[in-house]
Amino acid sequence: MSTANKTTKKRKKKKKLVKYNVGDTIEVESFAGPRVYQKVLEKVKSVSEYSNLGKVVVNGCWGRFVRRKDLQALKKQAVPYTGKEKLSKTKSFTYNWQVLRVIKKATK
């Protein structure tokens, strides 16, 4: 028997999660496509229990955009922004697995 006929499934390499704190600026892969910078406002870890799904754990953070060009890039991808929003007023949720890297650590 030859080993060429056997099909092997490739396993996905498990990605390490990036550690960040409140106040850090992080780079995020958004659902719309572009990579955007966000400043972390609040970390979230919640567990919900459902009868048909079981336990659902949500790990992530609330953040605001740092750069105007990120808002414009999301607008090009049909995210409903006018482009005139104040960056300090934009708030979005990010899951931990979407965080690519920490750009700037918070000052103490």
Domain assignments of the chain as residue spans, ordered by start: 25-104
Report the pLDDT averaged over residues 87-92: 94
From the number of C-beta atoms within 10 Å of its C-beta (0-12, 13-18, 19+), residue 82 rates as exposed
Q: Which residues pair with 26 in a beta bridge?
A: 38, 102
Report the pLDDT averaged over residues 76-99: 93
The predicted structure's pLDDT at residue 68: 95
43-82 confidence digits (pLDDT tens) = 999 999 999 999 999 999 999 999 999 999 999 999 999 8
pTM of the model: 0.80
Whether the per-residue pLDDT at 105 is higher than 80: the answer is yes
Of 33, 25, 41, residue with least CA distance to 105:
25
